[in-house]
Amino acid sequence: MSTSGNTRPVNSSNANSKQHPVKPANLANKSIPDWRKKLNSSELTSTQIQKISKARLLVNDVPIMQGQLTYLYGFPSCGKTAFAMEFAGLATDTGCEVHYFQVDVSAADLKDYHQLASRAGFTIHSTMADKASLISLRETIFTMAVEATAKELSNMVIILDTYKKFTAGGDVNNKKANVHMFATLRQLTMKGATVLILGHANKDRDDENMPRFSGTQEIQDDSDALICLDHMASPDGKRIRVNAYFKKARSMHDQSWGFIVHRGSSLIHNQVELGVPFDPDIQKASQQSDIRSRNKDLIETILTVLTMHPASNQTKVVQEVRQQYNNQGMNEPGEKKIRFILNNLDGDDWTSTVDKANNNAKVYSINKKGNVNTSAPQPKSKPTEPTKPTNVTKQP
């Protein structure tokens, strides 16, 4: 058989074995340069690898991988902590050692959390402990990252609730602090630990109509999985239906999922139902609920305008709404904001039809369930100087 000129000759006696460079003989320490000592100290050995557990799902129906850093965020009261507490208990049932750093609740609530943790068998860490502080808790995590071994960490779950408390000055937009903290957390996961971080979303929504992430790009880049929670509460607030969207994943388990929080009379009586299928209607319903809660006065004014001027096109509605605010001596809401609310609540309080005789313009009419009379509440104004309605100038 012919061979090309670039083919390396094969030594028949070693044809089935790879040739490795020979390391310098292990001479007395005094003859080994410092740079080589440091180089050798970072060598990853087969023994160390064997002590790290294989990546797997820690809990059934929850796509959080062992040995990864998962960042979970959402609006306030969306079920983050209730889910994390349930996850901590179930992870303990699988044999994991779970440490929950809870620094974002009142002392009264902390008592309930401690009772739940004691029942489930995992540990709560808090600044309420003797001689504990946010600084000492951060130092504990740093020390673990440096001194703990892979054997000690490969079966450990660490939960931080919430992340902003563990950054310098409580600022998630502090780039330097995020880089430092995530470098520490990465040391933990490289030794096999599983890290779950809870974070807050901004008050508005992003371009994909999801709760807007709060923090710097470093948090997103350095997380193995980034999960956004969107929720819809029942009218009585006792049932929260939650969708979990993967914004980023480094595993094949990247399908969106869901859970339900059933609120009891106290934290101890809350129940979390896992294995709930993803609900595609939650995103729109949650957005509409968010729009309503933040724009009550503006929505009432739109209803009043549609009652006074039925079958008005969008331009007419915008003009009349702004005039209503102007009549009350208040700052007028932005045109873009009014159009946004008209479009997103279309089919609920009002309905739009296409006026073919007027260049296919949208014409709005009030629905019966949204009907009001001309004495409906007007934009509220203070008796002194004019003020802006809630969230008038900020676009949703």
CA–CA distance, 284 with 325 (Å, rounded to integer): 28
* Banded pLDDT at 121 (limits 50, 70, 90): very high
Instruction: Assess whether 74 and 152 both reside in one domain.
Output: yes
- pLDDT of res. 30: 63
Q: How many Cβ atoms from other residues are within 10 Å of residue 372's Cβ?
A: 15
* Boundary-marking domain end, from 280, 315, 335: 280
What angle is formed at CA 165 by the lines to CA 62 and CA 81, rounded to 5 degrees?
30
12 domain residue, yes or no:
no
Lowest mean pLDDT among 52-66, 103-117, 208-222, 367-381: 367-381
pLDDT band at 28, cuts 50/70/90? low
pLDDT at 396: 41
Residue % of the chain over a pLDDT of 70 = 83
Residue 93 pLDDT grade (very low, low, confident, very high; cuts 50, 70, 90): very high
Quick one: average pLDDT of 52-58? 70
Asked, for residue 45, whether it belongs to a domain, the answer is no
Mean pLDDT along residues 60-69: 92
The pLDDT mean for the chain works out to 84
Neighbours of 190 (CB within 10 A): 15
Q: Is the pLDDT of residue 371 over 60?
A: no
CATH code of 154's domain = 3.40.50.300
Residue 42 lies inside a defined structural domain of this protein: no
Note the pLDDT of residue 155. Answer: 93
Measured CA distances, 315 to 192, 296, 338, 365 (Å): 59, 21, 10, 14
**Is there a domain that residue 358 lies in?**
yes
CB atoms within 10 A of CB 267: 19
Same domain for 246 and 342: no
Query: Is 394 part of a structural domain of the chain?
Result: no
For the chain, percent of residues with pLDDT exceeding 90: 53
pTM for this entry: 0.70
306 shares its domain with 236: no
Of 44-48, 70-74, 288-292, 386-390, where does the model show the most confidence? 70-74
The tokens 């992340």 sit on which residue?
Answer: 163
Instruction: List the domain range (segments joined by +) for residue 211.
Output: 53-280
Q: Are residues 114 and 162 in the same domain?
A: yes
The tokens describing 370, both together, are 């949204």
Band of residue 142 on the pLDDT scale cut at 50, 70, 90: very high
Check residue 53 and give its pLDDT: 56
pLDDT of residue 232 exceeding 60, the answer is yes
316 vs 293, residue with greater confidence: 316
Q: 33-54 pLDDT, tens per residue?
A: 888 888 888 887 777 666 555 6
Where in the chain does DSSP place strands (E)? 57-59, 62-65, 69-74, 97-102, 123-125, 156-161, 194-205, 211-213, 225-233, 239-248, 257-262, 271-276, 312-313, 350-355, 361-366
3-state secondary structure of 44: coil
Whether the per-residue pLDDT at 27 is higher than 60: the answer is: no
pLDDT for res 20: 56
For the chain, what is the domain count?
A: 2
User: Would 69 be classed as within a structural domain?
Assistant: yes
As a whole number of Å, the CA-based R_g of the chain is: 29
Which pLDDT band holds residue 268 (cuts at 50, 70, 90)? confident
Residues 218-226: what's their mean pLDDT?
A: 95
* CATH code for position 342: 1.10.10.10
Structural domain includes residue 181: yes
6 vs 273: which has the higher pLDDT: 273
Q: Exposed, middle or buried, 166 (CB in 10 Å: 0-12/13-18/19+)? A: buried
Q: Rounded to whole angstroms, how far apart are CA atoms 214 and 224?
A: 17
Residues 302 and 257 grouped into a single domain:
no
Tens of pLDDT along 128-139? 888 889 999 999
Cβ neighbors of 83 (< 8 A, separation 6 or more) are 72, 229, 242, 259, 261, 272
Question: Residue 78 pLDDT > 50, yes or no?
Answer: yes
Stretch 62-91: mean pLDDT? 95
Judge whether residue 261 has pLDDT over 90.
yes
The CA–CA distances, whole Å, from 266 to 113, 374, 376 equal 10, 44, 38
Quote the pLDDT of residue 21.
58
Of 185-194, 226-235, 245-254, 366-375, the poorest mean pLDDT is in 366-375
Tokens standing for residue 87: 């996850």
pLDDT for 380 beyond 80: no
Tens of pLDDT, residues 144-195: 999 999 999 999 999 999 999 998 788 999 999 999 999 999 999 999 999 9
Please state the rounded mean pLDDT for residues 272-291. 84
- From the list 125, 122, 51, the residue with the least C-alpha distance to 91 is 122
| Displacement of CA 215 from its chain's centroid (Å) | 11
Q: 260-267 — which CB contacts under 8 Å span 24+ positions?
A: 261/79, 261/82, 261/83, 262/238, 263/237, 263/238, 263/239, 266/112, 267/109, 267/112, 267/113, 267/116
Average pLDDT over residues 281-307: 86
Same domain, 302 and 260: no
Region of residue 393 (left: phi > 0; alpha: psi -120 to 50; beta: else): alpha
Are 353 and 256 in the same domain?
A: no
193 found inside a domain: yes
